[in-house]
Amino acid sequence: MTPFPLSFCLNACDASTWKAAQKSLDTLIPAVKALVAPRRPFPVSLHLGNRALGEALSRANDLHTWLEAHGCFLAALNAFPYGRFQNVRVKTNVYRPNWTDPDRLAYTRRAVAFLSGFLPEGGTGTVTTVPGGWSGDWISPDDDREALKNLRKAAGTCREVEGATGRRIRLAIEPEPGCAWELFDRRLGRLGPEVGWCLDTCHAAVEFRSIDHLDWKRIVRVQVSAAIECDNTPAARAALAPFAEPRFLHQTRAALDGELIGEWPDLTDALPDLPKLPKQAVVRTHYHVPLTWKGAGPLRSTRHLLTPAFFRQARRAFCEVETYTYSVLPDALRPRPLAESIAAELRWAAQGYGSSSSSKRNTVSPGLA
């Protein structure tokens, strides 16, 4: 039976402990599956923080049983946030430990081993990870050398797993504005096929990076997401201000005629400076808004960048919707129960993805990412 073609990243829910992650599996996933894929296998993209992952390793058999009983399969793992990610102030802590730290290496190796246990022989999976670290924590060339050394060791673990089990795990570096490694960073070019890139379309939009012509052979995972966009008018700035919230980091950029003219580490830093820039400037902020939201008043969504041409290319990689901000969204943007909101996003993305096609290239096979 053809599986549902894409997943939803569970970093939208608390995954700081296995008990918290299990709650999402028991309540949210069955509700979403019933709405979008009641009679089809459903891919799960699981986020597990370091503590939760350590606890999950001893509960793998329970998870296998759960997945089989609910018509689901584990397709991918998010190992970007190391600690708590929901219901707590995150900001730049989400990039720590960075890749200079042995704890990041150890966590990633555990994630690779865990995911490999859920793939069929010959299957492929991806593990997302931090793009080096926050640039403010990158203080010397030694950081680059140490980070690349650790990343090579993680890639070696992927090769060892493939040699021992026939299951291929690829590390998906997920660039974000203001981080040490950018998409297709040359410093990572010699690390081998075990290291690829995760394209988050919200992040790309904030950096005003075109997603029309990319080297798709190097992209192993796509996070279908949208940022907030507006013109630099007083009304738009007033509408944007309520999105400056205390938990997540909302890197903000301004461009004029496609050229960056301003960049700030957070929306709270940008708001006082934006009135000094031309009103014709376009402002984008790293605030994941639901794909079903096209905008309101002077605010727009960057979902317009997710064109049919983009989706035709994105089918080459494992795709997931990644709106993790439901816990902080203004009430007007989340009028439904969470399961219904996620299901609506999945339907929107699946329509662009081409889920109605019977072609094999538009599907995700159980256990494969």
CA dist., res. 94 & res. 72, Å (int): 29
pTM score: 0.95
- Which own/partner pairs from 57-63 qualify as long-range (CB within 8 Å, at least 24 positions apart)? 57/110, 57/113, 57/114, 59/18, 60/114, 60/117, 60/118, 63/25, 63/118
Identify the residue whose tokens are 């309101």. 296
In order of their start, the domains of the chain are 7-225+302-362 (3.20.20.150)
Structure tokens at 152: 């090579």
Return per-residue pLDDT of the chain as tens, 369 residues: 899 999 999 999 999 999 999 999 999 999 999 999 999 999 999 999 999 999 999 999 999 999 999 999 999 999 999 999 999 999 999 999 999 999 999 999 999 999 999 999 899 999 999 999 999 999 898 999 999 999 999 999 999 999 999 999 999 999 999 999 999 999 998 999 999 999 999 999 999 999 999 999 999 999 999 999 999 999 999 999 999 999 999 999 999 999 999 999 999 999 999 999 999 999 999 999 999 999 999 999 999 999 999 999 999 999 999 999 999 999 888 878 999 999 999 999 999 987 434 334 434 645 443
Structure tokens at 48: 């597990």
User: Judging by DSSP bridges, how do beta strands 252-256 and 282-289 pair with one another?
Assistant: antiparallel
* CA 260 to chain CA mean position, Å: 24
User: Judging by DSSP bridges, how do beta strands 226-231 and 282-289 pair with one another?
Assistant: antiparallel
Q: What is the pLDDT of residues 44-102, one digit of tens each?
A: 999 999 999 999 999 999 999 999 999 999 999 999 999 999 999 999 999 999 999 99
Q: Is 163 exposed, middle or buried (0-12, 13-18, 19+ CB in 10 A)?
A: exposed
CA dist., res. 339 & res. 34, Å (int): 10
CA dist., res. 86 & res. 298, Å (int): 29
Residues 6 or more apart whose Cβ sits within 8 Å of residue 65: none
Cis peptide preceding 265, ω within 30 of 0:
no
* CA 346 to chain CA mean position, Å: 14
Cα–Cα separations (whole angstroms), residue 284 to 37, 39, 266, 305? 34, 39, 11, 13
Contact status, residue 131 vs residue 180, Cβ threshold 8 Å: yes
